[in-house]
Chains A and B, each alone.
Chain A
């Protein structure tokens, strides 16, 4: 049985139509996309016309070359190197990222000068892609995985420092205030209120960065920084697409494994908070 609720309450207010500003913004966004499509020479027609190029590629790439000693074994070994590059690139940047994050967070209150400097340094480190750092370090220390590690450390300090400082900005200020007014010094407050509170988020972000850095170290191999990226680059240069497909399959397995590991650890860390 339905009942009509009789009420003396005023009717709900009428919905306002979108204002002129919203219309202008929407039009601007549409124009921006049209310009971007033209500038990037985006064309479905060209893609459809070139379909046989893709077919050629796959006919050369399939079936993949799975010879153990020539392709798979060196590929697995190179994948492990790629993982090591990503791992060290992430973990070796932790001390620098902690310093940058603490200085660059409003919660820690180390002063405006330290805050501005840390923000500026982190932006500068982030602005340059890993590949550019890798090219620079290759000229200094030669080809191989080492310049790749250095490149990731520098870039990751900027990115992880920013992510961590934002995590610190968002923590509950209560414990910080409580310790501050009990007479604790700034460093003590950071050590006993800020860092323990922000630890789960920081570990989560660290694992996320490990995931990203392992993938980035793949690209670094293309500029001579070792690992499986280097092998992929070689096979493309020799038109051995069948080998390339095997390497990519190995990379896929590695990326999925790192992703699963990161998800598992993250879940455990956040559950114990």
Chain B
């Protein structure tokens, strides 16, 4: 059976036995995680429990010490075509990481760079019309088509994060990762962004994995909550089966991380 297939069910993201240590400190200690298409999964846990490291391993910003990562059954760690593999996985960050001096539309178009030849992407003016139309559709999906021509530096934090999500969509990803996407936003903007991520997962059959620091937001918006403790899955349940008390143990149970002998 190919990796990710589990009794006929295909997981978009399939992680097994992921391990990563920094300077002797074990951050990921055999992480197993599946995220199916059409689901918003929230990844919760105390600081240093390995949430962000797991995401960084999936997008290739970190090299895991051991374990496997498959997206749609394909090994993303195998270095045969890293660029093609990266296109499948989009990521949204805590800070939108947009180019402030460029328009929202130009920033969203940049999400398509991975599938554009260099001569069609030398400058925003040279982007093919079809890419610009697609980028407009992505901006429309996040409710910002009317701000397409505005410089990103003129948008609010919540709007910037939505532009960043539109850029991720323009990448046509199979899997969308979000690393604390609402930590820098006010409560209203945070609700908006998480509702958007949940909507994308459900409507566009996207697998979305979001690292969150707000258990209440996770319970309200996510389909499923995965809690990490000391680099391993400690809790994994549908959001409707959990309450805030269940999640407390993720934070109170966090001791000093063990040191590799």
Write the residues of chain A forming the contact surface with B, with a CB cutoff of 8 angstroms.
172, 174-175, 177-179, 181-185, 187-188, 191-193, 196-197, 199-200, 273
Contacts and interface: CB of A to CB of B under 8 A. Distances in A.
Given A191-B122, A192-B110, A192-B121, A183 B115 contact: yes
Given A183-B113, A188-B121, A192-B121, A175 B83 contact: no
Contacts of B115: 183
Interface in B69-102: 83-84, 86-87, 89-91, 93, 95, 97-102
B118 A184 contact: no
Contact of A185 (B59, B118, B164, B171): B118
Given A174-B95, A187-B118, A181 B101 contact: no
- Give the one of B60, B113, B121 with max A CB within 10 A: B113
B86 A182 contact: yes
Given A174-B95, A183-B84, A273-B153, A188 B118 contact: yes
A183 B87 CA distance: 5
B170 to A, nearest CB: 9
A181 B97 contact: no
Contacts of B114: 182-184
A200 B86 contact: no
B123 interface: yes
Contacts of B90: 182
A172 B99 CA distance: 9
Main secondary structure of the interface of A (DSSP, over half): helix
A183 B168 CA distance: 11
Contacts of A175: 97-99
B60 A273 contact: no
Nearest to B98: A175
A198 to B, nearest CB: 10
27 contacts: A172-B97, A177-B61, A177-B97, A178-B91, A178-B93, A178-B164, A178-B167, A181-B91, A182-B86, A182-B90, A182-B91, A182-B110, A182-B113, A183-B83, A183-B84, A183-B113, A183-B171, A184-B113, A187-B118, A191-B121, A192-B99, A192-B121, A193-B99, A193-B110, A197-B99, A199-B101, A200-B101
B121 A181 contact: no
Contact of B171 (A182, A187, A196): A182
